[in-house]
């Protein structure tokens, strides 16, 4: 890449709060697949803090994979693989199994079919007790949606009618249909949630 490596300010803001949850819910060793890794800011931060885990970043966008690879080379970390080209809606995935799968800020900026494929693909690849961790904004029954999230949802749907904030209860039902049981919901900064599922 020429020039500064692609960086998103939001990733810098939320990487430590997310790490705080991952430190509790991920296994102490094993392979963690990150779906839709973006620029790699998250995965490098997590790999540095949790060296007992081997991290498998992925993204379908070439410019994101370039940024991940540049960060990986600069970091010198031995516990991060080269990024995979992964579109969750296309089987087979390039990763056949993982001890945990994380997906940060994807399902609201992708068609619902991507969430369906993520749940199905995670269920195929996680062992019993394996964690699927999701992070982002949601709509929740009996919880008012923050005005900032309402505005964000409107802007997403203007960009693409198939995008938008998902109902947490609908996501929970989808995951349950794939033997992924809701274990924990953690309130996060900026009206986001960490949602932890565990495979039965």
Burial track 150-172 (b if 16+ CB lie within 10 A, e otherwise): eebbeebeeeeeebbbbebeebb
Band of residue 3 on the pLDDT scale cut at 50, 70, 90: low
Residue 3 belongs to some domain of the structure: no
Angle at 19 between CA 14 and CA 21, to 5 degrees: 105
Q: Across residues 132-146, what is the average pLDDT?
A: 97
CA distance 177 to 187: 24
pLDDT at 1 over 90: no
CA distance 115 to 89: 9
Nearest to 101 by CA among 77, 80, 83, 126: 126
Residue 1 belongs to some domain of the structure: no
Q: Across residues 175-180, what is the average pLDDT?
A: 98
Tell me the residue range of the domain where 193 lies. Answer: 9-199
CA distance 124 to 107: 19
pLDDT at 101 over 50: yes
User: Which tens digit of pLDDT belongs to each residue from 47-83?
Assistant: 999 999 999 999 999 999 999 999 999 999 999 999 9
Residue 103 belongs to some domain of the structure: yes
CATH code of the domain covering residue 143? 3.40.50.150
CA distance 107 to 178: 17
Residue 174 near residue 115, CB atoms below 8 Å: yes
Number of domains in the chain: 1
């Amino acid at each position: 890449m020429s020039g500064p490596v692609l960086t998103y300010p939001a990733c810098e803001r939320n990487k430590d709060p997310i790490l705080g949850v991952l430190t509790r819910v991920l296994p102490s060793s094993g392979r963690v697949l990150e779906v839709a890794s973006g620029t790699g800011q998250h995965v490098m931060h997590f790999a540095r803090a949790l060296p007992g885990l081997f991290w498998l970043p992925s993204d379908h966008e070439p410019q994101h994979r370039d940024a991940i690879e540049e960060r990986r080379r600069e970091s010198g970390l031995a516990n991060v693989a080269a990024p995979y080209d992964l579109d969750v809606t296309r089987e087979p995935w390039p990763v056949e199994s993982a001890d945990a799968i994380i997906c940060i800020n994807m399902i609201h900026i992708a068609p619902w079919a991507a969430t369906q494929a993520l749940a199905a693909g995670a269920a195929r690849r996680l062992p019993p007790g394996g964690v699927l961790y999701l992070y982002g904004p949601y709509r929740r029954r009996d919880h008012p949606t923050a005005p900032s999230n309402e505005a964000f949802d409107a802007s997403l749907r203007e960009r693409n009618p198939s995008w938008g904030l998902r109902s947490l209860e609908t996501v929970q039902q989808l995951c349950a249909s794939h033997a992924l049981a809701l274990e924990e919901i953690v309130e996060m900064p900026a009206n986001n949630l960490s949602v932890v599922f565990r495979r039965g």
